[in-house]
Amino acid sequence: MKSLEELRALREKMRSQTDNRSVAADGETVIKVGMATCGIAAGARPVLEALLDEAEKRRLHNVSISQTGCIGMCRLEPIVEVFRDGQKYTYVYMTPEKARRVVAEHVVNGNVCTEFLIGEN
């Protein structure tokens, strides 16, 4: 940070992203990213940032994005869990590009990206 204005701009950006991390109500989509040490080492942070960016870009207010601890399948990291319509979808070996596709296809259009699911790898 070189100025107070840069700090304020960062605060506003983080505030808008934090809005997407709140607890979801009925009918909303919840997305959790495994951010334990194994997830972070495998690249979960850029995946989380891509999810937050894509949700903000699309102005998705019915989506809650948050980080969680270890999901328990370290060898499959980065892992993203999507909870929607009473079901859980576990996406594995995620990248920022795959995360953006999950938002576009699964969250927005309702089409599950089956090729990224745990059972398909």
pLDDT in tens, 35-83: 999 999 999 999 999 999 999 999 998 899 999 999 989 999 999 999 9
Q: What is the pLDDT of residue 23?
A: 46
C-alpha 71, offset from chain centre: 14
User: What's the whole-number mean pLDDT along residues 3-29?
Assistant: 68
Q: What is the pLDDT of residue 56?
A: 94
Q: What is the pLDDT of residue 2?
A: 78
Predicted confidence band of residue 121 (pLDDT cuts 50, 70, 90)? low
pLDDT of 24 above 50:
no
Q: What is the pTM of this model?
A: 0.77
Structure tokens at 18: 């934090």
Q: What is the pLDDT of residue 7?
A: 84
CA 17 vs CA 6, 12, 53, 62: distances in Å:
17, 9, 8, 13
H/E element, 34:
strand 29-34
Domain boundaries of the chain, sorted by first residue: 22-120
Q: What is the pLDDT of residue 12?
A: 76
User: Which positions ≥6 away from 28 have C-beta within 8 Å?
Assistant: 62, 63, 64
Rounded CA separation 12/10 (Å): 5
pLDDT per position as a tens digit, 104-120: 999 999 999 999 999 76
Q: Does domain 22-120 have CATH number 3.40.30.10?
A: yes
Of 75, 96, 91, 121, the C-alpha closest to 31 is 91
Strand partners, 117: 91
